[in-house]
Chain A
Amino acid sequence: MIKIKKGIDIHLVGEAKKELRNYEPTLCAVKPHDFIGVVPKLHVAEGDEVKVGTVLFHNKNNEGIFFTSPVSGTIKAVVRGEKRVILQVIIESDGKYETIDFGKADPSKLSREQVADKMIQSGTWTMLRQRPYSTIANPQDKPKCIAVSMFDTAPLAPDDNFIIENQYEAVKVGVEALAKLTDGMVYLNVNSSATAKKLASLNFSAKNVSINEFEGPHPAGNISTQLNVLSPINKGEVVWYCYAQNLVSIGNLFLNGTYDSLRTIAFTGSEVKDPVYYQTRIGADLSGLYNNISSDLATVRIISGNVLTGTKINGDNFLGFYDSQVTAIPEGDHYQLFGWLAPNFKKFTSTNTMGASLCKKSKKVLDTNLNGGIRPLIMTGNFEKVFPFDIYPMQLLKACIIKDIDQMEELGIYEIDAEDFALCEVIDPSKTPIQQIVRESLEMLRKEMN
C-alpha cells in the first residue's frame, strides 16, 4: 500500500450511480486536437464508407501512427478551422458496427514488433501515451516502464473498479501485450485491494508485471503521482502509460481481432438529473444525453472529462478521445456582493479563511466563476500542500513563465504534466492560468528537443 499524503479531494454533487446504460450515438468524431503534436493527413473524404477500424488519418509528424474510425458508417464531414486545420472528422454511424478483422492472437506468443504492429494498424496504439509531453507513444522508443493507472481520483471521477468488473479477461491479455512492449516493468496501479487481488489471480505469464495499491486524495490517480513513487522519470527517459479502459481495449484487440471503440463514461455533475454510467463509443456525440440535464443548456457548462482538466464541449458535443467522464456544472457568470468577505458556505476552499472551511467534506454545487481577479503570484506555500512531488511547484511555474528551459529541466518538468498542476490552479488565489502555462512550456520543450 502506497500512501499519497498531499493533495485534496473536491467533493461535488452529482456522483454517478453504479448503473450502466447503453447509449448509441448517431454521430462520432475523431478530433486531432485530442492528441498532442499530431498533424493529420487524411485517408478518407466526405461520403466515404468506413468500418470500425478503418484508417481516417495518420500523423504527418510520425507516419507510422494511424487513427481509425470508432463506428461503421459514412464520413459526414471534415470540419476545418483557421488555416484549414482539421478540427473534426465526423462519422455518421449506421449502427451496425461492422469491423475490420485484424486477427486474433495471443500476445505472449508474438514478438514485440508484431504486438506493436497490430496495435498500430487497428488504431489502438493511440491509447498508449508517453511521459514526458503526453504525446502518443513512439513505437521506436524503448520505454523505461509502462504504467497503467486503474483508478481516477478527480472530482466525480468514474469508478474504474466498477467499469472493468466483467472485463478481467481482456485486462489479462492487455497486460500481456504491454509486457511485450517494454523490457522494464508494467505497473498496474489500483486503489482497491479487491481489484488488486483479482489482478493477482490472473496469473500473468509475463514476469515484468507489478501490482501496486495506492491510497490518498487526488492527484493519487494521476500517472505522474504514481510514477514519482514507483520510478521517477529522469532526463532522457521515456515512460509509457494508459488507463484501465485503454487496457481493456488493447486486450479486446487481441481477443477478438477488432478495434474496441467502446467507452464507458460517467455522466456526472450537479446539473445532471440522473447521473449514471453509459456505455458508448469513443468520440460519441453526446447531445442525445442532454435531456438528462436539469437546467437550461445556456446556463450549463458541459465538460468532456472532469472539472479539473476537462474540455468545455458546449456546441461541439463530442466526447474527447481519452475521456471517460462527462461533467455538467452551472456557469458562474454572476456578480457576488462583497464576495471576498462573505462566508461562502456553499463554495469550495482549501484554506481556512471562510465559512466553507468548516464544511470541507460536504458535497457542493460549484459553478465556473473565477471567484476573483487575476493577480501576480503573491501568496506562497499553498501549492506545496496539494503537490505530492519532490518538486518546487512555484519555482517550476516561474521557470515556465520566463521560459527558461535549463531551469525547467533542473526543477523536474519531465516528471509532470499540466494536469498535475490542476489542483494548484484551483487553489491559487492569484487565479493564474497555470495549466496553460505548463502545457505551453512542455510544448516548447518538445519542439526544442525534437
Chain B
Amino acid sequence: MGLRKFLDNIKPNFEEGGKLHCFHSLFDAMETFFYVPNKVTLNGAHVRDAVDMKRNMIYVLIALIPCFLFGTWNIGYQHFLSHGETATLWQNFGYGLLKILPLYIVSYVVGLGIEIIFAQIRKEEVNEGYFVTGFLIPLIMPADVPLWMLALAVAFAVIIGKEVFGGSGMNVVNPALLARAFLFFSYPSQMSGDGIWIAEKADAYSGATPLGTILNGGGVDQLPSVMEMFIGTIPGSVGETSKIAILIGACFLLLTGVASFRIMLSTFVGAAAMGLLFNAIGTTTAMEVPFYYHFLMGGFMFGAVFMATDPVTAAQTNTGKIIYGFLIGAMAVLIRVANPGYPEGMMLAILLLNVFAPLIDYCVVAMNIRNRKKRWAKAEERSTK
C-alpha cells in the first residue's frame, strides 16, 4: 500500500489552502485513476452497482486496441509497400509506432489539458470521456497529418464541440468526428485526395483508397479484393482499414453491453437497404458497387461500431436508436454514391444524425406523451359520466 500512503501524504497539498491547490483536478484525476474513491452513499440507495463511468470508457478503449495494433502495423506496411521494399512485421510496426505516437501525444496533451482546465473551472471531477475521444482521433486521421493541424483540430473539437455545451454528456456532436470534420473542411488539400493515405508515400505509387477509386469513376474491378479490404492491407485512415480488428472490437463492446446493439445493427441494415436500392437503379458505376462493399470501404464499419454508438450523441430511446442507426447507414451510402465531392460519407452521416438525434428522441417520446394524454382524456370522460 505504498502508493496509497504516498497519495495520502501529498493529498493535503492539493486541498483547499494547500500549496498546489491549482493542480487539484490533475491530482484527482491521477488518484481516481489508481483508486476507486472511498466515497460512500449518502442518500437514496445504500448499495451501488460496481460499474462506473471509468470502466465503461476504458472498455471502449480496450475494444479499440486491435484497430490500433493493426493500424500501426499497416502504416509501416503501406509505406514500405509504396517504396517497393519488403519489411518484417516488427519493422512495419516500429515504423508505424514512430508515426502514430506523436499523434497520440499531441491528442492527449492538448485534449486532456483543456479538459482538466475546464473541470477545475467548473469544480467538477475530470471526466473520462476524453480518454476515448483522444484515442479515437489519431485512428481516424491519415498517419501523416501535421501535428500542429492535429493540435488545432483537437482544441477546436474539445472547446467548441464539447466544453461550450457543458462538457461530457452535454455535447451535440461526436468530438472525435468533429476534429476530423474540422480538418476536412479547413485543410481539404491535406485531408483528401489519393496522396495522403500512406505515410511518406513514394510519388509513383497510386495510394488511392477504395472509396477514392470509386469517386474517380473507377469500377469494382479496380478495387482491392474483398479479402484485402476485409483484412485491411489497404491505404486509409489509421484505424479504419482492418475490418477484422473492428469486428473483434465490436464483439467486445456488444458482449459487455457497453455499446448499443440496436444502433450497430440498424446502421448495417440501413446501409444495406440503401446499397441494394442503388444496385437496383444502377445507372452509374458508383451505384453498381455491390452493397456489401460499402461495409468494407472507408470508415463505414469503424464509424458504425465506435462512432455512431457514442451514447451521448446518439439517440437515447431504444426506438430512437434503431431509427438513428438506420438513417446513418442509409445516409452514409447515399452521400458516397450520390455526392462526388465527399468520399467519406460515414463521417458526414454520423455528424448529421448527431444533430438530428434529439429530434428523433423528441418524436419517439412525443408518442408516449400522446398515449398518456389520450388515457387522461378517457379517464376524464369516464369520471364526468
Contact = CB atoms under 8 A, between A and B. Distances in A.
Interface in B34-51: 34-51
B372 A412 contact: yes
Contacts of B44: 309, 422, 425, 433-436
A223 interface: no
A347 B262 CA distance: 28
Nearest to B4: A335
Contacts of A425: 44-45, 48
A337 B35 contact: yes
A75 B223 CA distance: 90
A353 B51 CA distance: 7
B260 interface: yes
A429 B372 contact: no
A426 B36 CA distance: 17
B89 interface: no
Contact of A353 (B258, B373, B375): B258
Contacts of A81: none
A118 interface: no
B247 interface: no
A312 B336 CA distance: 60
Contact of B38 (A309, A335, A426): A335
Interface in A324-353: 327, 329, 331-341, 344, 347-353
A348 B379 CA distance: 42
A410 B74 CA distance: 53
B52 A373 contact: yes
B43 A435 contact: yes
Contacts, number: 213
Interface string A394-437: 11000000000000001110000000001001111111011110
A377 interface: yes
Given A353-B59, A381-B318, A410-B369, A308 B50 contact: no
B32 to A, nearest CB: 6
A368 B257 contact: no
Contact of A335 (B37, B47, B128, B311): B37
Interface in A143-177: 155
A59 B129 CA distance: 49
A329 B55 CA distance: 25
Interface string B256-269: 11101010000000
Nearest to B261: A381
Interface of chain A: mostly helix, strand, loop or mixed: loop
**Which of A338, A339, A422, A431 counts the most chain B CB atoms within 10 A?**
A339
Nearest to A333: B38
Contact of A380 (B3, B167, B314): B314
**Which of B48, B52, B361, B380 counts the most chain A CB atoms within 10 A?**
B48
Interface in B140-194: 166-170
Given A348-B50, A351-B51, A390-B371, A376 B41 contact: no
B311 A380 contact: yes
Interface in A295-313: 301, 303, 307-310, 312
Interface string A98-137: 0000000000000000000000000000000000000000
Contact of A429 (B40, B52, B380): B52
Contacts of B47: 10, 12, 155, 307-308, 329, 348, 366-368, 426
Contacts of A434: 44
Contact of A336 (B36, B361, B372): B36
Interface stretch (A17-25, A231-239, A276-284): A231-239
Given A378-B169, A392-B365, A372 B35 contact: no
Nearest to A373: B125
Interface residues of A, number: 75
Contact of B318 (A155, A344, A368, A384): A384
**Which of B55, B257, B312 counts the most chain A CB atoms within 10 A?**
B55
A377 B318 contact: no
A340 B54 contact: yes
B116 to A, nearest CB: 15
A308 B45 contact: yes
A344 B311 contact: no
A370 interface: yes
A410 B372 contact: yes
Contact of A344 (B41, B46, B50, B169): B50
A430 B168 CA distance: 12
B255 interface: yes
Contact of A352 (B50, B169, B257, B373): B257
**Which of A236, A354, A379, A390 counts the most chain B CB atoms within 10 A?**
A379
Contacts of B45: 307-309, 422, 425-426, 435
Interface string A216-241: 00000000000000001011110000
B129 A335 contact: no
Contact of B39 (A312, A347, A373): A373
B36 A379 contact: no
Contact of B379 (A234, A308, A338, A392): A234
A376 B368 contact: no
Given A237-B379, A425-B45, A426-B47, A395 B36 contact: no
| Shortest beta-carbon contacts, A-B, top 5 | A372-B52, A376-B169, A339-B36, A347-B50, A435-B44
Given A327-B46, A371-B48, 18 more contacts: A12-B47, A155-B47, A307-B47, A308-B45, A329-B46, A333-B38, A348-B47, A353-B257, A368-B40, A372-B48, A372-B52, A372-B54, A375-B125, A375-B128, A376-B170, A384-B318, A426-B49, A433-B43
